[in-house]
Amino acid sequence: MDNMKQLISVAKGESLADLILANAKVVNTFNGEIESANVAVYDGLVAGVGDYQQAKTIIDLKGKYIAPGLINGHVHLESSMLDVGQYARAVVPHGTSAIVTDLHEIANVCGIEGIKYVLDYARRLPFDLFLMAPSCVPATHLETAGANIGPDDIKRILRFKECIGLGEVMNYPGVLFGDDGMLSKIELAKGKIIDGHAPGVSGKNLNAYIGTGIHSDHESVALAEAAEKLRRGMHVMIREGSSEKNLEALLPLVTDKTYSRCLFVVDDRHAEDILHDGDIDAVVRKAIKLGLDPVRAIQMATINTANYFRLDKLGAVAPGYYANFIILNNLADFKVKSVYYQGRLVAENGQALFDLPKAPDNQLSRTVNIKPITIDALKLKAKGETSLAIEVVPGQIITRKKSVKVAVKEGFVRPDTSRDILKAVVVERHNATGNIGLGLVTGFGLKKGALASSTAHDSHNIVVVGASDEDIYAAIKDLERIQGGIVVAAGGKVLGSLATPIAGLLSEEPLEQVVSGLTKMGNYAQELGCTLPAPFATLSFLALPVIPELRLTDLGLVDVNEFKIIA
């Protein structure tokens, strides 16, 4: 109560503020105006906006802009490949003061212990991490995960102080078919925010999905799809990530009538993009370049997100709100100059100004557990002159189901690099079951060698594409040796690797070093003929059986539209 009384005194101009940011242009996310004022801060909160003069520290902004700290409303930080502290050091300088995440990537590997690891670390960092209880661990019954988070676990997670709701309900077929386990999780989260994930769902099925209490979606790729979801009451998350770029297609949805129910998210953003372009600030910047009013773009990355998730003290520069600010020279180029978190300067000119605490003791190592296999286990038996192949769609995470004529030798299908037909392999790596899924993929362009990764959404088994069994085998064995990461092999030997030993997903190294490693791996892939601009990002989604049309898991080839294993 004493702090509240002192805040009142500072707000009334009777007592010294801790900090005044003077001569600022304040972006008002409530009414869309920009006002010239001083901003007074006390005890990490905004005491007032107006003519404040007395403070322990006064910083003259000389007409620079103050906007609220940015909120990334849907992100899987694991896709950055950075451990939690390194992730914060990477995104905070770009103005990210809060993220909303369900941590289902690390949860699919390590369960609740993985979630607790991230939360324990994040509590000691200058940004806010809000948890959505992961609703789909595993995402479906069509793959093998390292953990299973059932209704009792969801009940426990919903009691975590950082938890604000239920994470993206990816198992939309389970919802539509009335699966008891899925519906019980939704029922447990009644009264809280429930995020959706409904690619291509429309009409009566969409009505049924929304009717369960799911009120957001980030999977729209077409304007008509997003417009229907908005019309039926959903908040539309406009996604602009590394593999999924939907901003340009969906931006016409944002009008004076609709903008308050639209928000920007990145979903998956990789280390290279964070280093070279930024985080949620990059989405705001691109929206402005595409013609969106800068203040409106800021609203869609701050107050709109805060309102949807009921984050009462975030999203505005206003009395009683947290003093989370970004400082910009101008709004047109939207380059973040300084970042304040609860009134403390935490980043400036792109550099983090805080030291990292020691990571929690419960290190999630030794998670890559593969049953010993021989190279013969990688042989794909021919079933005729043709076979189904996963066709990569450039710039999207959806795939297409394609029938291809196959090359056969001694009864087994062989990759055919002349027609860009490669072998795809998924190896279970959590419980050493020995499960191996085999299939074909087209669109990578490899002429030789193999690419492998232990980041394979959502269960994160080992996924490999390659032009020969020898190279695929070499890549698998090296991933086992380094306990997760990415590997490139050719000629039966490993050309290079990048280790992510924390849960097989995250690196302890800083952003710049991870990007340097990724660049080397990308160069190796290119030298082997790969034509994709982000081959490992594409590789990481080949085993995701909740995004149409065709996927490969450790249990086999999955027709997502039919929601069943077909080979």
Q: Are residues 418 and 302 in the same domain?
A: no
pLDDT given at position 167: 97
At 121, which CATH number? 3.20.20.140
Q: Are residues 91 and 214 in the same domain?
A: yes
Exposure of 376 by Cβ count < 10 A (0-12 exposed, 13-18 middle, 19+ buried)? exposed
pLDDT averages per 10-residue partition of the chain, 567 residues: 90 97 98 98 98 97 98 96 97 98 96 96 97 92 94 97 96 91 96 95 98 96 97 98 91 98 95 96 98 98 98 97 98 98 98 93 86 96 95 87 94 96 98 97 97 95 98 98 97 97 96 97 97 91 91 96 89
**Rounded distance between C-alpha atoms, residue 148 and residue 137, angstroms:** 5
Residue 537: predicted pLDDT: 87
* Same domain (yes/no): 388, 284: no
**DSSP state letters, 349-374:** TTEE-SPPPPPPS-------------
Q: What is the pTM of this model?
A: 0.93
Q: Pick from 315, 339, 360: which residue ends a domain?
A: 315
Within-domain flag for 45: no
Residues 248 and 389 reside in one and the same domain: no
Place of tokens 């082997």: 528
Helix H or strand E encompassing 425? strand 421-427
In a domain, 31, yes or no: no
Residues 547 and 471 in one domain: yes
**Residue-wise pLDDT tens digits, 139-150:** 888 999 999 999
Instruction: Find the angle CA(463)-CA(378)-CA(371) to the nearest 5 degrees.
Output: 70
Residue 120 lies in a domain: yes
Q: Determine the structural domain holding residue 200 and report its residue range.
A: 69-315
Closest to 93 measured CA to CA, from 266, 270, 281 = 281
Question: Does some domain include residue 213?
Answer: yes
SS3 74: coil
User: Which single residue is written with the structure tokens 């992100």?
Assistant: 75
Nearest residue to 145 via CA among 546, 561, 550: 546
Within-domain flag for 356: no
Residue 87 lies in a domain: yes
Q: Are residues 305 and 406 in the same domain?
A: no
Give Cα separations from 548 to 116, 201, 290, 551, 558 (angstroms): 32, 11, 29, 8, 9
- Are residues 161 and 242 both part of a single domain? yes
Residues 302 and 379 in one domain: no
For position 362, what pLDDT does the model report? 67
Residues 274, 422, single domain; the answer is no
385 and 508 within one domain = yes
Domain end, chosen from 296, 315, 334, is at 315
238 - beta bridge partners? 264
Q: Is the same domain home to 391 and 279?
A: no
Helices marked H in 12-103: 84-91
Counting the structural domains of the chain, the total is 2
Domain termination residue (choose one: 288, 315, 342): 315
542: which residues sit within 8 A by CB, 6+ positions away?
A: 390, 399, 424, 426, 441, 456, 463, 465, 551, 552
Q: Do 296 and 409 sit in the same domain of this protein?
A: no
Specify if 438 maps to a domain. Answer: yes
pLDDT of residue 377: 97
Q: What is the pLDDT of residue 524?
A: 98
- Whether 133 is in a domain gets the answer yes
